[in-house]
């Protein structure tokens, strides 16, 4: 009874985590879709909070699994062979470098002072500088491996999960390494934009320190959002009271130069970035789907199904079906084994069965009889 | 020792039910179960008698009486399984018009109509099925009729016109068309297990009754066995030709024990062997060959061991493979 309850609980949590994994994959897509479709700030805030929930959940799940496996002395097996490392990468770093800082930023009122007060400004700066957090989120896809039972065979599931994990990890790490070494084109676009507007302010200041000229130039520029001089607001395309609710915090940057505070839009760059992320996300999901749908089927057909038949032939007395050997794979080692099973083992097995039938060997034994006597002691 | 009462008989039935529910027997048909339990009883007779006479079983009865009651219960179970099937086949599966052409009734029997064939076959089968070994080996017939093996394979043989067809037509000189040959085969399969009936044979130490297995073990004269058995079968089924009866008997023999012209006997030996242990699977494992293709392929490797004609097995293998049987 206790064991039954334990199994039911385990089943419930496994299903809960599986649902959460599917939802987090949808969430990862929605995050970038929000930027692409310019969703309202309030909706995008909910997306950020939901991300924190998922990452916290998976971090807790990872810790719990590690503790449980540690108690069973299976921690290394979990980490190295049961994708513990993937569970780690798809939870802890994302919580600390992506969703965690984002929520902190949200709670701090999105001001540098607020962030400095809670001591995460430096982390956020580093994370933003290398711009890998969005790619990191894609690692979440790896959690799906091993959770979805897309084949009856444990071996097929394990191999599909391994090859998918390797493929997805390589895609993600290549992107990260290229970003770190060669720089992110979108990150460079932000720097270029910053330099451009800093130069603009400098040029205007060199000609005249008249705020009017800069104001007129920026009002005609679709990227110029707001300008103030020495704390006095000169113009704002969005009313200041609606600023936080209308403009997404990542969609603009502040440039301070000689008393001028200039706010410039980054929305176009972020849309390109979101599109790029969706593309990468699409590639990764397609890879996973391809492995799960096509590779698993292929693997099952040419490996596990064959082993299944051979195994039944070895174990079950009455099982005498031969293995189908496709011509195109006939030289594979597994089909060489199958050929031995077909041509040598099964004929020998049937000969033995025939001989034992001739010798009148029964499948029953006296033990079967004694068991009956013991069951029916009142006989 | 007391006489077996109703309660004891009930206990024996319960005991047999227990034996039948053994995992090794569960998947088998009642006739195979009966055969396996009889094998168990004969090979453990001394120990079994002791156990059955112990306090836990039937201490108040003679073990021999208990064993004969067990055998009776098993026989009833097997006949309860076989007889309704046989009735259905005799009613629906045999084309008596073809049979009448193949084996016309002669003498006093002539003109008695097709029902006479049916009643003679029914009576004959009831008689031979009294033997446990006949019941056991009748499993092949059950499977052949249930899965229409003769219709399927023989139609293919006649359609392909290869080795087996040539052997039947040109060597055996059996000038039957496909439908006639199928009916011929069905009748022969119904009677082929008569070899497990005991007939009186002469041996070194005088005369004794023996079935095919005993005759072979005691190295008795097989031609004498065939002759005596054929006579016995013809007594029950006088309409059958001598040749048909001998073919039915020889379809239990290995290839080298059959004559050059007995192609049908060799063919029926293979088909009968294939369907004796046949187990129908609703769904075949994905990487596995079909049931018959697997069996015939193994039979090709073991053809000498089983005493099969290699070319016939090969053709049956190709038929099974092409039709995914």
**Calpha distance B46→B321 (Å, rounded):** 48
**CB atoms B288 and A324 under 8 Å:** yes
Decide if pLDDT at B234 tops 90.
yes
Residues 6+ apart with CB under 8 A from A361: B39, B43
SS (H, E, C) chain B: CCCCCHHHHHHHHHHHHHHHCCHHHHCCCHHHHHHHHHHHHHHCHHHHHHHHCCCCCCCCCCHHHHHHHHHHHHHHHHHHHHHHHHHHHHHHHCCHHHHHHHCCCCHHHCCCCHHHHHHHHHHHHHHHCCCHHHHHHCHHHHHHHHCCHHHHHHHHHHHHCCHHHHHHHHHCCCCCCHHHHHHHHHHHHHHHHHHHCCEEEEECCEEEEECHHHHHHCCCCHHHHHHHHHHHHHHHCCCCCHHHHHHHHHCCCCHHHCCCCCHHHHHHHHHHHHHHCCCCCCCCCCCECCHHHHHHHHHHHCHHHHCCCHHHHHHHHHHHHHHCC
pLDDT at B183: 95
Closest CA to B302 of B278, B259, B273: B273
Nearest C-alpha of chain A: how many angstroms from B57?
Answer: 6
- Classified as helix, coil or strand, A40 is coil
Q: Which residue has the tokens 């807790």?
A: A60
pLDDT > 70 fraction of chain B, expressed in percent and rounded: 97
The pLDDT of residue A96 is 86
Span A99-109, mean pLDDT?
Answer: 81
Query: Percentage of chain A surpassing pLDDT 90?
Result: 32
Measure CA B211 to chain center: 13
How far is A307 from chain B, CA to nearest CA, in Å? 9
Higher pLDDT, B323 or B23: B323
Of B50, B55, B58, B53, which is closest to residue B9 (Cα–Cα)? B58
At CA A7, angle to CA A4 and CA A11, rounded to 5?
140
What is the reported pLDDT for A219? 86
pLDDT single digits (tens) A165-199: 888 888 888 888 887 787 777 778 888 999 999 99
* Region A258-273 average pLDDT: 91
pLDDT by residue (tens digit) across A217-228?
888 899 999 999
Residue of B18, B285, B291 lying closest to A372 (CB–CB): B18
CB contact under 8 A, A354 and B306: yes
Calpha distance B170→A303 (Å, rounded): 47
| Residues 276-315 of chain A whose Cβ lies under 8 A from any Cβ of chain B | 300-301, 305-306, 308-309, 312
| Cα–Cα distance measured from residue A88 to residue B268, given in angstroms and rounded to the nearest whole number | 67
Phi then psi for residue A131, to 5 deg, are 45, 45
Asked if A330 reaches chain B (Cβ–Cβ under 8 Å), the answer is: no
Partners of residue B207 on adjacent β-strands: B202
- CA distances to A215, A226, A230 from A237, rounded to whole Å, are 11, 6, 19
Cβ–Cβ of A309/B287 closer than 8 Å? yes
Contact A322 B51 (CB under 8 A): no
Hey, of B36, B61, B288, B290, which one would you mutate to test binding to chain A, going by the most A CBs within 10 A of its CB?
A: B288
- Tell me, rounded to whole angstroms, the distance of Cα B321 from its chain centroid: 25
List the single residue in B27, B43, B288 with the smallest CB-CB distance to A323. B288
Residue from A260, A253, A254, A252 nearest A202 by CA: A260
Please state, in angstroms and rounded to a whole number, the distance separating the CA atoms of residues A319 and A308. Answer: 12
Which residues in chain B are contacts of A308 at CB distance < 8 A? 285-287
Residue B11: list chain A partners with CB under 8 A: 379
Q: Within 10 Å of residue A247's Cβ, how many Cβ atoms?
A: 18
A47-56, A96-105, B140-149, B193-202: segment of lowest average pLDDT: A96-105
Interface size A-B, in CB pairs within 8 Å, comes to 99
Partner residue opposite B56 with nearest CB, options A312, A323, A373: A373
DSSP assigned state of A376: T
Contacts with B36 from chain A: Cβ below 8 Å: 362-364
Q: What is the mean pLDDT of residues A277-292?
A: 87
Rounded CA-CA distance A53/B191 in Å is 78
Least Cα separation, residue B55 to chain A (angstroms): 8
pLDDT at A246: 84
pLDDT, position B144: 97
| pLDDT tens for each residue of A108-125 | 765 545 555 555 555 555
> Which of A152, A110, A94, A106 lies closest to A296, judged by CA?
A152
- Rounded to two decimals, the pTM is 0.79
Contacts A320 to B, Cβ<8 Å: 294-295, 298
In this complex, do B56 and A379 lie within 8 Å of one another by their Cβ atoms?
A: yes
């Amino acid at each position: 009874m206790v064991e039954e309850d334990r199994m039911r609980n385990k089943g419930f949590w496994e299903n809960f985590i599986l649902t959460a994994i599917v939802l987090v994959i949808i969430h990862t897509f929605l995050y970038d879709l929000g930027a692409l479709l310019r969703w309202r700030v309030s909706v995008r805030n909910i997306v950020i909070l939901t991300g924190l929930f998922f990452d916290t959940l998976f971090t807790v799940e990872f810790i719990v699994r590690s503790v449980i496996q540690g108690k069973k002395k299976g921690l290394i097996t979990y980490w190295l062979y049961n994708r513990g490392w993937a569970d780690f990468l798809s939870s802890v770093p994302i919580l600390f470098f992506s969703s965690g800082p984002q929520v902190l930023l949200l709670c701090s009122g999105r001001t540098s002072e607020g962030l400095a007060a809670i001591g995460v400004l430096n982390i956020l700066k580093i994370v933003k500088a290398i711009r890998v957090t969005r790619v990191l989120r894609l690692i979440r896809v790896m959690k799906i491996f091993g959770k979805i039972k897309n084949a009856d065979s444990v071996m097929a599931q394990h191999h599909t999960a391994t090859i998918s994990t390797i493929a997805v990890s390589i895609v993600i790490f290549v992107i990260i390494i290229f970003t770190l070494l060669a720089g992110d084109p979108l990150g460079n676009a932000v720097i270029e934009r910053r330099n451009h507007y800093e130069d603009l302010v400098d040029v205007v200041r060199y000609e005249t320190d008249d705020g009017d000229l800069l104001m007129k130039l920026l009002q005609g520029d679709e990227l110029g959002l707001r300008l103030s001089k020495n704390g006095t607001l000169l113009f704002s395309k969005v009313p200041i009271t609606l600023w936080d609710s209308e403009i997404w915090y990542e969609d603009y940057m502040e440039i301070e130069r000689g008393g001028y505070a200039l706010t410039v839009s980054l929305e176009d760059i972020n849309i390109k970035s979101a599109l790029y992320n969706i593309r990468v996300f699409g590639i990764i999901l397609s890879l996973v789907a391809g492995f799960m749908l096509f590779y698993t089927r292929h693997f099952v057909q040419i490996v596990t199904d064959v082993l299944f038949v051979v195994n039944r032939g070895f174990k079950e007395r009455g099982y005498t079906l031969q293995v189908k050997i496709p011509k195109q794979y006939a030289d594979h080692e597994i089909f060489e084994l199958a050929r031995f099973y077909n041509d040598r083992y099964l004929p020998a097995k049937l000969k033995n069965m025939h001989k034992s039938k001739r010798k009148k060997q029964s499948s029953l034994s006296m033990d079967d009889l004694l068991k009956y006597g013991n069951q029916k002691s009142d006989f | 020792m007391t006489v077996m009462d109703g309660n004891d008989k009930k206990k024996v039935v319960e005991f047999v039910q227990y034996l039948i529910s053994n995992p090794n027997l569960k998947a088998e048909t009642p006739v195979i179960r009966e055969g396996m339990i009889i094998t168990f009883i004969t090979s453990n007779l001394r120990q079994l008698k002791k156990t059955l006479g112990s306090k836990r079983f039937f201490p108040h009865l003679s073990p021999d009486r208990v064993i004969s009651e067990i055998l009776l219960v098993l026989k009833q179970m097997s006949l309860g399984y076989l007889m309704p099937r046989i009735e259905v086949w005799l009613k629906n599966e045999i084309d008596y018009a073809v049979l009448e052409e193949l084996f016309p009734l002669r003498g006093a029997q002539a003109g008695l109509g097709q029902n006479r064939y049916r009643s003679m076959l029914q009576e004959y089968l009831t008689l031979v099925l009294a033997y446990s070994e006949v019941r056991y080996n009748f499993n092949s017939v059950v499977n052949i009729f249930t899965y229409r093996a003769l219709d399927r394979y023989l139609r293919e043989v006649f359609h392909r016109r290869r080795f087996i067809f040539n052997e039947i037509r040109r060597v055996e000189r059996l000038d039957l068309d496909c439908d006639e040959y199928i009916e011929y085969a069905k009748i022969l399969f119904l009677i082929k297990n008569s070899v497990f009936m005991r007939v009186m044979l002469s041996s070194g130490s005088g005369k004794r009754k023996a079935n095919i297995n005993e005759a072979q073990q005691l190295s008795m004269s097989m031609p004498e066995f065939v002759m005596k058995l054929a006579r016995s079968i013809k007594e029950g089924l006088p309409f059958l030709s001598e040749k048909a009866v001998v073919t039915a008997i020889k379809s239990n023999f290995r290839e080298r024990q059959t004559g050059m012209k007995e192609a049908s006997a060799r063919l029926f030996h293979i088909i009968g062997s294939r369907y004796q242990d046949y187990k129908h699977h609703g769904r075949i494992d994905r990487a596995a060959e079909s049931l018959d293709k697997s069996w015939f392929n193994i039979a090709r490797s073991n053809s000498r061991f089983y005493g099969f004609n290699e070319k016939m097995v090969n053709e049956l293998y190709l038929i099974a493979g092409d039709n995914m049987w």
